[in-house]
Amino acid sequence: MPTMDDDIALAHRLAAAAGEAIRPYFRAAFVQETKADSSAVTEADRAAEQAMRDILERERPEDGIVGEEFGSVREGASRQWVLDPIDGTQSFIAGRPIFGTLIGLMQQGWPLLGAIDQPIACERWIGATGRATLFNGAPAKTRRCKSIEGATVATTSPHCFSDDEADAYLRLLAAAYGKHPWPLYGGDCYNYALLASGHVDIVVETGLKLHDFAALVAVVEGAGGQMCDWRGDPLSATSDGRVIALGEPARLDDVLEVLHGH
């Protein structure tokens, strides 16, 4: 049975391998036709996931793998590595260095370890249950937040929300910003990483897949924050994809109250 230190060291190697696979594709399609960028991202996605799977097959032949590109193997294993080689496809395609490689380790369906790696800026957040989250080797800490009013809210795209969810989200914006909402859009996993480092207070999203959020939980919680679904329940392999991240766990009741309109 590998120790937590072994798993953390392995997550670093996985992230490094993915980054090496991704970097040659970043901004590489600019001399080609429009559509070339979307195939570039597919190629980069696959190359990075394959690089990580090769390492896992060699070093953790008994663990399961859930990958965005190549699906699942050993689904019955109690330990599952959950991989999203490029989270933030649109940012990658557009040449923004705020996408990320996500590496999560789940045990019995619960997040145990997570890494968010930004391979262009060479930024890596890594968290594990019971450990302090590290950003490029130094402790990352969420910041305190005394009320929703004045909080910095981030979400990748307003188009993800259903009508009901959009109403809930707009209530949250009104509570945070008043009449002139100015939340942070775009960002994908990078929003959670910046929350872990104390620059963002609240991230609220829906429609996330397991590979989108598995890696985030340990990073955010090891930095002093909290992640849960829109009911306030902890995230697991069976969550419905509606996600809240808070830098300040004491604001959870306030956020749930605003989202649910009472």
**Interaction site with a second copy (CB under 8 A):** 27, 30-35, 37, 90-91, 93-98, 121, 141, 143-146, 150-152, 154, 156-159, 180-187, 190-191, 194, 197-201
Tell me the CA distances in angstroms from 224 to 140, 198, 217, 221, 247, one per residue in order. Answer: 9, 10, 11, 5, 7
**59 vs 149, beta carbon nearer a second copy:** 149
- We find the least distance from the C-beta atom of residue 90 to a second copy, in angstroms, to be 5
**In this structure, what token pair is assigned to residue 2?**
């590998």
**81 vs 190, beta carbon nearer a second copy:** 190
| Whole-number Å distance between alpha carbons of 130 and 253 | 24
- We find the least distance from the C-beta atom of residue 113 to a second copy, in angstroms, to be 23
CA nearest 52: which of 123, 134, 127, 115?
115
**74 vs 171, beta carbon nearer a second copy:** 171
**37 vs 229, beta carbon nearer a second copy:** 37
**125 vs 213, beta carbon nearer a second copy:** 125
- We find the least distance from the C-beta atom of residue 16 to a second copy, in angstroms, to be 20
CB-based burial of residue 253 (10 Å sphere; 0-12 exposed, 13-18 middle, 19+ buried)? exposed
Cβ neighbors of 145 (< 8 A, separation 6 or more) are 151, 201, 202, 246, 247, 248, 251
Identity of residue 218: A
CB-based burial of residue 50 (10 Å sphere; 0-12 exposed, 13-18 middle, 19+ buried)? middle
**117 vs 229, beta carbon nearer a second copy:** 117
* Contact by Cβ (8 Å): 73, 65: yes
Cβ neighbors of 182 (< 8 A, separation 6 or more) are none
- We find the least distance from the C-beta atom of residue 181 to a second copy, in angstroms, to be 5
**110 vs 182, beta carbon nearer a second copy:** 182
- We find the least distance from the C-beta atom of residue 110 to a second copy, in angstroms, to be 28
- We find the least distance from the C-beta atom of residue 164 to a second copy, in angstroms, to be 18
* Contact by Cβ (8 Å): 17, 47: no
- We find the least distance from the C-beta atom of residue 222 to a second copy, in angstroms, to be 16
